[in-house]
Amino acid sequence: MANCKLRFRAAGTCWLLAAALCLLLAGGCATRQGKGPEVSTPSFVLPDDESASPLTRTELAALKSTGQIDKNVPDEAMPDVARQYKYFLRKGRNTMSVFSKRSEQYLAYARKVFRSRGMPDELAYLAIVESGYKADAKSPAGAAGAWQFMPYTGMKYGLNQDWWMDERLDPYKATEAAADYLQKLYGDFGDWPTAIAAYNAGEGKMSRAKQGTGGRDFFEVKARNHKLDDKAQLREETKQYVPRFLAVAKIMRNLPQLGFEPIQPDKAPGVLRFTARPGTDLMAFSSACRLSWEEFRAYNQHHKRPITSTERTTFVYVPARYEREATAFLRSPQANAYADWRPAKVATSADSWDKISRRSNVPVARLKAANPGNDRLSAGEMVLVPRSVNMSATAVAALDPKESRTARETRQGKKERLKPGDSRAPARETAVAAGGSHKLQPDETLYAVARKYNVSLKDLQDCNQIDNPNKVRAGCILRIPGAAVAAAPSAGGSSGRVGKAGRKATYTVQAKDSLWNIARKHNVSVDDLKRWNNVDEKSLRAGATLVVNLD
């Protein structure tokens, strides 16, 4: 819950042209790391010799510049480095410009991580070779993230991959894992060029090539590579991977001198890492920070769901300018409103959100909000539901399929307009009846109770004279406000003007509204709002009138 007080750099949202990404992936993204089956990758094409375009004096000086890793490169290895260097200065210049600019958001943190381990901070440039620092990059071979970890190696170095998340797409945590892995490889091979080659080829492949050739380091192994049989030889991709890294490092050290736009990693907008409790509502978190869901997702692409794991704490990233809002939200009782939910398997295709709603006493709209884009259920799929709900086929079959039309419509909020005293008029649901009560369960929050009974958190507090929600204890009896109705907006109320029209309502869009906020106020999905009004986030305008179907 607490802010870890480490300042990061903001994740950029710049998208790379497909052609440039394909070029990069051919150079090192689709690699095998760790102990896994060999995978085939696209053949690496050596850049054309730019002999017709010789290096200028400034370019030659930059090529001769050295850091910790490239200070002892043998002369016979320099032609490959020069070819890679000239490629990124000529034909690949636009690609280099995009990569260097995107890296600005992450380099300060990456350098800090490597320096803290006593490693050369120029290793931070390796993610440029791997992905161009594209946080959500994925290769055909299954590598993912800025540091292109394969699944096995990612798990080995602490990057969780499950139903909830893929931490290979967390550029900050992946940087820490890459530092751990590279440090291990350096311990295995004793020099950085060989460790970098092993990062691309896998330590097993590099060890066998070293042993088979008798070479002391990558450069000697590369020179003797032809002596190995076809299976044992280093691929062309790996042979050019180290020269490519060295070329990129030389360019990154001399961007202004080489005519590239200068970058200032230390002045990039700050990002804060927060630890979120299990079951944190990420959509509510983004709203509390005044970020659209798309903006929030750009910082947190490692989360696959709008809810964080209900089994463990996780990292969430927010621009530093919203530190106060983020801290306040994570300390509030509504933050982990889904702590008592769990992923469960749908037992039968006869199940539906309507039936789960009846078994769990949770509105269909809230179930769908926790499972966006999943309107119809199929046997075997995983869905997020309250922990107490019975998802077995027996529980589904136990529901009476012949219930009366009046009971079904009453439950769904489709009440007929019946006169007082009419024998067909059903009793008002106890969940929302005036004077109704609820016993607060362990780990249950006021916000969860408010959502369960479709009332606002403020009304629930006022009705029970609660000033501080954090002082309410399990076992207390809460009175449910009698004004609650099936179609009432969810906690927080409405900032716009709503005019009811039968089973529909109209809503006037306010200046700071988003589709997600409006959908949340009315317990409907964003997809439904888009469908009913033929609108999306880009076309949403203040003052526009939206139709909301309350059925």
Q: Per-residue pLDDT tens for 137-168?
A: 999 999 999 999 999 999 999 999 999 999 99
CA dihedral in degrees (285, 287, 290, 292; nearest 10)? Answer: 110
Q: Note the Cα 106 to chain centre separation in Å.
A: 16
* CB count in 10 Å sphere of residue 236: 13
Residue 551 has a pLDDT of 55
Query: What's the pLDDT score for residue 47?
Result: 54
Half-sphere exposure of 535 (CA within 13 A, CB side): 21
List of residues 6+ apart from 371 with CB closer than 8 A: 383, 384
pLDDT attached to residue 412 = 52
State the pairing for strand pair 477-479/437-439. antiparallel
pLDDT at residue 40 in the model: 30
| Architecture of the 341-394 domain | Roll (3.10)
**CA 423 to CA 49: how far, in whole Å?**
91
- 495-526 burial, b if ≥16 CB within 10 A, otherwise e? ebeeeeeeeebebbbeeebbbbbbbbbbbbbb
Would you call 429 exposed, middle or buried from its count of C-beta atoms within 10 A (0-12, 13-18, 19+)?
Answer: middle
Report the distance separating Cα 26 and Cα 97, nearest Å: 18
Domain chopping of the chain, boundaries: 55-260, 269-325, 341-394, 430-479, 498-549
At the second CATH level, the architecture of 430-479 is Roll (3.10)
SS (H, E, C) 294-331: HHHHHHCCCECCCECCCCCCEEEEEEHHHHHHHHHHHH
Q: Which residue has the tokens 């950085």?
A: 192
Q: Judge whether 264 and 104 are in contact, CB under 8 Å.
A: yes
Superfamily of domain 498-549: LysM domain (3.10.350.10)
Q: Which CATH architecture has domain 55-260?
A: Orthogonal Bundle (1.10)
Tell how strand 314-319 and strand 270-276 pair up: antiparallel
Q: How many CA atoms lie within 13 A of 35 on its CB side?
A: 1
Ranges of the chain whose pLDDT falls below 50: 1-46, 50-51, 403-408, 410-411, 414-435, 483-502
Q: To the nearest whole number, what is the mean pLDDT of the chain?
A: 81
Write out 449-484 in H/E/C secondary structure. HHHHCCCCHHHHHHHCCCCCHHHCCCCCEEECCCCC
H helices of 132-268, in order, are: 151-156, 171-189, 192-201, 203-213, 218-223, 236-253
- pLDDT computed for residue 524 by the predictor: 72
Decide whether 55-260 matches 430-479 in CATH topology: no
Per the CB < 8 A criterion, the answer to whether 85 and 63 are in contact is yes
142 within 8 A of 149, measured Cβ to Cβ: no
